Every structure is written in structure tokens, then in C-alpha cells.
Chain A
Amino acid sequence: NAGVTQTPKFRILKIGQSMTLQCTQDMNHNYMYWYRQDPGMGLKLIYYSVGAGITDKGEVPNGYNVSRSTTEDFPLRLELAAPSQTSVYFCASSYSGDPSVGYTGELFFGEGSRLTVL
């Protein structure tokens, strides 16, 4: 299994440009997430989705948009890129099941996408 796959791994954008970070998972997970991680900091939740067609904002959604048309894909759109969006972006997925039978809601992360806005 590939798990969670993110593309591209690296990208340099100019201020004002737009782009989409792609994320796909092959584990049939219902939940998917986008986090960003600035140098030396923890991860901050941008958006998440509990299933196809359902998305919701996390801690830092401004400047980003998401969609979830399929279970597998959860792209993150950056509109009008700004230097403050320079960061490493991680996509993750999880399966939400009954904890009494052992489901932990474990997050599976992709390898990250390093974005620089100049």
C-alpha cells in the first residue's frame, strides 16, 4: 500500500501565485486533514474532512481552500500566495471507529510538501 501520497514534494511560488497541493490515500479512511508546520514549531490544523463532500476549518484556514469530492483525494488550494504561507504542509488520514474494539483514530501522514513563497 502507498498510504498517504502528497505532491509536489517541493515548490517555490512567487507572491500572488496560486497552486494546489495534492493528497491521496488508498486506505479507505473517512477522515483527512491538512496541517502546516513552520520551522521549530508544532503542526497546526488548516482544514479537515470527515467524509466526501464534508469539510471544516481548523485552526489556521485563512488563505486556503479544500474540497473532498472522493474518499481518496483531499487537495489543498492556496490562493494569492504570501510569504507567511512558507511552510511544510502535511496531509494525513485516519479511520474513525469504535475505541472499545481497538480503533485508535491513528493519523497516517504523508511525507510532506515543502512550500516557499518569495
Chain B
Amino acid sequence: LAKTTQPISMDSYEGQEVNITCSHNNIATNDYITWYQQFPSQGPRFIIQGYKTKVTNEVASLFIPADRKSSTLSLPRVSLSDTAVYYCLVGFRILTGGGNKLTFGTGTQLKVEL
């Protein structure tokens, strides 16, 4: 399984754009990159997933360079409610049989202030 490296923590202010980069140097050809958000005392929640280039949804964008050895989660105009831990996961999805050993690292603690 590809190992991921993220910053332990980041600080920001309301209204700013936040970019969290994840390094995954040994990503495999069939690996997807997925980001989750976790608030205290809750289970993680899916944010976004991508394979290459750029993916955007209603809450975030995910930028993946051509070599796919890193990815950047971009949160536009953060608010206090975006204070959470953000996890980058790299793993393939087995369509039939096999398993899905998605592992979480320690994540990035994002703190948003006024």
C-alpha cells in the first residue's frame, strides 16, 4: 500500500483558500486518491476522490500532477466550520474479490480562525 505524508497541522483565517498537500511517492498505477474530513467525536466523511489532473465538487478541488506522486486538496474560502482533521488516502478499489485495506495516516489538523 502506498504510504502518504501530510503536514501535521495548518492554520488559516476565515475566507482564505487552504491547500493541503499529500505526498505519495510509491502510488501504484491503479491507485485512486481520496480525501476525508473528520470532526471531533465523529467518523471521517468523504470529501473528494481523483485519479489524475483536477477534480472539483461543491466543497473542494483536488489537484493531481502528471506523475501522481503528490496531490493537493484545495478548500476555497474556509470558514470556522472547516476546522477538522483532513486525511489523504491512497489505495486501489477491488471490483471483485480481494480486499480494500484503506489505511488512514495521522492526517492534517486544520484550524481556521476569525
Interface size on B, residues (CB 8 A): 27
* Bound CA span A109–B97, Å: 22
Q: Is B102 an interface residue (CB 8 A)?
A: yes
A35, A103, A105: the one contacting B100 at CB < 8 Å is A105
Q: Is B93 an interface residue (CB 8 A)?
A: yes
B44, B51, B107: residue with the most chain A Cβ atoms closer than 10 Å: B44
B41 to A, closest residue via Cβ: A112
Please determine whether A42 and B43 come into contact, CB atoms closer than 8 angstroms: no
Please determine whether B43 and A109 come into contact, CB atoms closer than 8 angstroms: yes
Known: A48-B100, A96-B93. A112 touches B106 (CB 8 A): no
Chain B residues close to A by CB (< 8 Å): 32, 34, 36, 41-46, 49, 51, 87, 93-107
Chain A residues close to B by CB (< 8 Å): 4, 31, 33, 35, 40-45, 48, 50, 56, 58-59, 90, 92, 94, 96-99, 103-112
